[in-house]
Structure 1
Amino acid sequence: MNKRPLSLRIHLVVTFALSLLVSTLAVMQIDVLFRAAHKVPYTSYEASVNEMNNRLAWLRDEVPLRVNEYAMRAAVQEASGGKYAIYVTDEDGEVRFRSDQAREESHLDLEQLYERSGKFDEPYEGMPYVWIEHSMWEEKEVVLVLQGRLHGKEGYFYVPQSGRNMVLFVLFFVITFYLLNYRKMRRFQQINAGLSELAKGNLSVRLNTHGKDELGFVARNINAMAEKLARQLQQERQTERAKMELITGVSHDLRTPLTSIIGYLDLLRSRAYRDEAEHDRFVQNTYNKTLQLKKLIDDLFDYTRLSSGDIRLDLRRVDMKALLGQLLTEYEPLALERGLTLRARLPEANVPVDVDPEKIVRAIDNLLMNALKFSIAPGEVGVTLMAEDKRIGIVVENEGEPITEEQERKLFERFYKADEARTGAANRDGSGLGLSIARQIATLHGGAITLKHTAGRFVFAIELNREGGIGR
């Protein structure tokens, strides 16, 4: 049982994912290596602003918790951190508390301070900064003002190289994907080259079937197809060669009796016979040659009809025992003439079978004639009828000249001349189609013909269904 091939799609998905990963990591590494070339310095005042705002916000939350002036002054001083000026005023700007870093002022212009609170366009080192918060102390609203100077912090930012990174990503992805799929693409090219050679008619080409994926599966199928085509081509060539040999042989076989017929008729026409007995002999020889010519033509006609597949069987219920007995009776004089004895083994009971009587008689007739023609005389030709529940067997046995295994394989081939295989040119009065016609008749009935040959012992067997056939 063939294992299911590993999916080529899985390979493509994996290589695609690996290409994405490798490309991403490579671009990230390159970006890190070349980041210094795109580093831009800058000064940030955000930390200084946040520190001042946070200190005043802390004081805003602490003011309501301070219960006396001493605690209030301590909170103001703590919020200043020793470096910022912090004022606590009433709603009119009168200063009530101040840090040690604040100037000795008793009144602040709140309107002017509100305008400056948290605002700066272009900060610079040491730039004045004001931030104001509101809180409640002793159930009265107070204004918290912080004054200080901005101090910048040096830093850097990187100019993004998205265009360059995209180009590098695509480049790395294409290269990685190509390298990971190089072997697969090479196999595609090999398969394509192999198919091109097959298309040119070079059926000896075989592809490398290494691999358990679809490509290996396709390569094996292509090899199987090439082998099958090669066998078919060889068979077609053999068939064509056999046809040409048949045409040559049949032409010779037809010409030989036809030449004899013309010769005898010419003798009869010119009255070149000595007496009435010779006249009758010429007529009889002409008649025999005419029958031989008719037999050759009938074989060719029957073979053509059977080979066309356009023939239908006229199935009838026939007693095969009686039919075979009648045939053996008709062949007994011919067997005696050739120095042979017919030995029949028939069952006692009748053997009813659904067959086409005319065609099955032709098949058995061809087997019997083949056995009589090629048996060694004196000798015996055995005919056995075996009956089972659903099938019957008709066996014809005879002793003849041994043949090779190759000749045995070709004995039933169409256009292969049986007499050449078994007796050389000693018997060339047939068409060589008898066994092929018999096999086709058996096949039409849903049966088969087999041959067993051992050292000149030939056993032909026809196996048929007892009821019905495929041609019904």
Structure 2
Amino acid sequence: MKNRTKLWLLMLISAIISILLFTSLTLVMGKIGDRGYNLKGLNAISQEILDTIAKHQAFLAADISPILDNAHTNHPDIRYEWISAAGSTIYDTFGEEKKYDFQQLADRMLYMPENLWGIDEPITLTFSISLQDQPYYLLMSLSSDAMKQGQIYFFMRTFKVMSTFMLPLIVAFLIPYLLSLWFFFSMNKRINKLNHAIGQLNLQSEITILEDTKKDEISQLTAHYNAMARRIHNQGEQIKQLDTRRKLLLSNLSHDLRTPLTMILGYAETIRAGLYKDEKELQASAKILLQRSRYMDKLLDQLLDVTRQDEGNLALNVAVHNVSEMMRKIAADYLMFLEGQDFTVEVNIPDEDIEARIDASLIERALRNLLDNAIRYGLDGLYLEIGLSKNDDTISMTVIDKGLGIPLQEQEYVFERFYRVDDSRKGEGLGIGLSIVKEIVTLHNGSITLTSVPFEKTAFEIQLPIHQTENNPDSFNR
């Protein structure tokens, strides 16, 4: 059942229950809390007495006294007086005998019916009956406290008059329900709008941002929806970018593997067929085979790194290591690799041993990635620098080249997976080296910064705390 149908049923049932409760409670409370006489009741009593007098022709004191005494017994709050036309008291249930003149009777009738509203003066009602054209008067007196407290002193003689009375009452009953209905429709409209927006939310479509200026729970829910929609949209964009880069990875990998594989096959066929001129040409061919094979091996290692990143298997195992000695060995390897080339290589590693709690294999891997990038992309600068320094509780490792550099607008993206500054360059890796460096540094609770001025200085600086916490698999095995 829809909420709208439920609301109509609830409104109808509530209205019926309200009317029934109002009517029944009014009657019950009236009987309980509004005891006493009203004008209609007093008129009925007087009429009963006058009918009895007329029936028995009881106008004299001896005849009238039993009738009035009986009425007084039934209604002790009422005083009954039987008065002659001359104003003398024929019988009084209070036992008094008075002779009234016009002034006295007028005073007793003064300010009627205002006395019904609580004034301390007694209330007197006068009724008459005639015997042979001789009038007699029945006076009924009672205090205002004996009257009903909730009397209404008007009578509705036509339906038109009744409608003027009932219409305001009906409006008073309906206003709360109409306001509730308006509130529900307003709330239901906002919920439907939110529900529709959530139903349309997916990774492919444009997100719908809802405006809700009210300060209630639905407004808070709308704000949460807007934040969720933006997150989903951003994640969708990231997934699209990642998918594009994966496709580019496969394309680059196909090209990067095909070129060295073609060279390997060509030189291997030359050696097998003995088509080389001399031993020197044979060694040159063997060297190229070795270089291309190592390059392919490095590409396969990068593919393995991608798998490890996806599976979260990059774990940290720290121990105390001599960082100075490790970097000297790395520098020696690259000095041998660049020997005979026009590269200027500077090694700024202090003579003193600097020790730190690190995962030596991961840090060496990060440094070699940075050095390979500096040689590959900074080739035009013919300069390479590797440095190590210590500052209080941190160590700093730097790799510097003076090559083409990285444009300022590209620097914030170079640590993302599969990102390459120039996608048009083939055969230059898969674009994951710097992302692995960033992850290794992050696992060590460190930081890496990049500064680059083309053909002046492109520097990567890694800063690591000397004292790492103990290895926590829950923290590092992701």
Which bracket does the TM-score occupy, shorter chain normalised?
A: 0.5 to 0.7
Residue in structure 2 matched with residue 85 of structure 1 by the alignment: 90
Does structure 2 retain, via aligned residues, the 8 Å contact 1:198–1:226? yes
| 1:165, distance to aligned residue in structure 2 (A) | 9.6
In structure 2, the residue corresponding to 1:382 is in which secondary structure?
Answer: strand
**Any idea what the Cα deviations from partners look like across 1:206-249, whole Å, max 9, x if unmatched?**
11042333333322222222111111111111011001100110
Q: Which amino acid aligns with 2:444?
A: H
Question: Partner residue of 2:246?
Answer: 243
* Residues 315 and 355 in structure 1, CA contact (< 8 A), matched pair in contact too: yes
Structure 2 vs 1, CA of residues 335 and 79 (structure 1 numbering), >3 Å: closer, same or farther?
farther
How far off is 1:294 after superposition?
0.8
Q: Shift of the alpha carbon at 1:401?
A: 1.4
**Aligned equivalents of 2:233 and 2:223: distance in 1?**
15
Larger Rg, first or second structure (1 or 2): 1
State yes or no: 1:205 paired with 2:203. no
Q: Within 5 Å, which residues of 2 pair with 1:381-460?
A: 381-418=384-421, 420=422, 425=425, 428-456=427-455, 457-460=457-460
Stretches of structure 1 that go unaligned for 5 or more consecutive residues are 1-15, 29-40, 61-75, 89-95, 102-123, 129-146
Could you tell me how far apart the structure 1 residues matched to 2:277 and 2:233 are?
63
Tell me the alpha carbon deviations over residues 134-174 of structure 1, each in whole angstroms, 9 at most, x when there is no partner. Answer: xxxxxxxxxxxxx96599xxx86679999999986664332
SS class of match (1:198) = coil
User: What's the offset of the Cα at 1:375?
Assistant: 1.9
Report how far residue 362 of structure 1 moved.
Answer: 0.8
Counterpart amino acid of 1:385? L
Identity of aligned residues (%): 24
Aligned partner letter, 1:238: Q
Q: Do the aligned partners of residues 404 and 172 (structure 1) sit closer, same or farther apart at CA in structure 2, a change above 3 Å counting?
A: same
Report the residue type matching 2:419 in the other structure.
Answer: Y
Amino acid of the structure 1 residue aligned with 2:240: R
Cα 1:183–1:266 shift into 2, 3 Å: same
2:466 counterpart residue number: 466
The answer on 1:355 being equivalent to 2:354 is no
Verify the 8 A CA contact 2:82 2:137 in the aligned structure 1. no
The equivalent residue for 2:43 is 45
* Residue of structure 1 equivalent to 2:177: 174
User: How many positions carry a matched residue from both structures?
Assistant: 366
CA distance in 1, matches of 2:177, 2:97: 70
Counterpart residue type for residue 464 of structure 2: L
* Structure with the larger RCO, 1 or 2 (CA within 8 Å, 6+ apart): 1
Equivalence for 2:118: none
C-alpha displacement at 1:179, in angstroms? Answer: 2.9
Provide Cα deviations, 1:264-320, integer angstroms capped at 9, x if missing partner: 223333333344443443333222221111111112113322442223223221111
**Alignment partner of 2:361: what SS?**
helix
1:189 alignment partner AA: N
Q: For 1:413, give the aligned amino acid.
A: E
* Counterpart contact for 2:419–2:431, Cα < 8 Å: yes
Amino acid at match of 1:363: A
SS of the residue corresponding to residue 412 of structure 2 reads helix
Distance 2:470 2:96 in 1: 122
Aligned counterparts, 1:217-228, within 5 A: 217-228=220-231
CA contact (8 A) 1:127 1:149 kept: no
Cα distance, 1:455–1:184 mapped onto 2, change above 3 Å: farther
Higher mean Cα deviation, 358-367 or 199-208? Answer: 199-208
Aligned to 1:299, the other structure's residue is in SS state helix
Asked if structure 1 preserves the Cα contact closer than 8 Å seen for 2:407 and 2:452, the reply is no
For 1:167 and 1:209, how far apart are their aligned partners in 2?
A: 35
1:233 is aligned, of 219, 229, 236, to 236
- Residues 320-369 of structure 1: CA deviation (Å, up to 9, x unaligned): 12211221122123344442222233345321111121121111111112
For the structure 1 residues 471 and 246, does the alpha-carbon distance in structure 2 shift closer, same or farther, using more than 3 Å as the test? farther
Question: When the two structures are superposed, what TM-score results if normalisation uses the length of structure 2?
Answer: 0.64
Q: Report if the CA contact (8 A) 1:375-1:398 is conserved.
A: yes
CA–CA distance in structure 2, aligned partners of residues 86 and 196 of structure 1? 92
**Distance in 2, Cα, partners of 1:175 & 1:266:** 93
TM-score, normalised via structure 1 length: 0.64
Q: Considering only aligned residues, what root-mean-square deviation do their CA atoms show, in Å?
A: 4.5
Residue pair 2:369, 2:433 contacting (<8 A) in 1 also: yes
Q: Structure 2: where are the runs of 5+ without partners?
A: 1-10, 24-38, 51-63, 73-80, 101-126, 141-152, 473-478
Task: Tell me, in whole angstroms, the C-alpha distance in 1 between the residues paired with 2:369 and 2:215.
Answer: 53
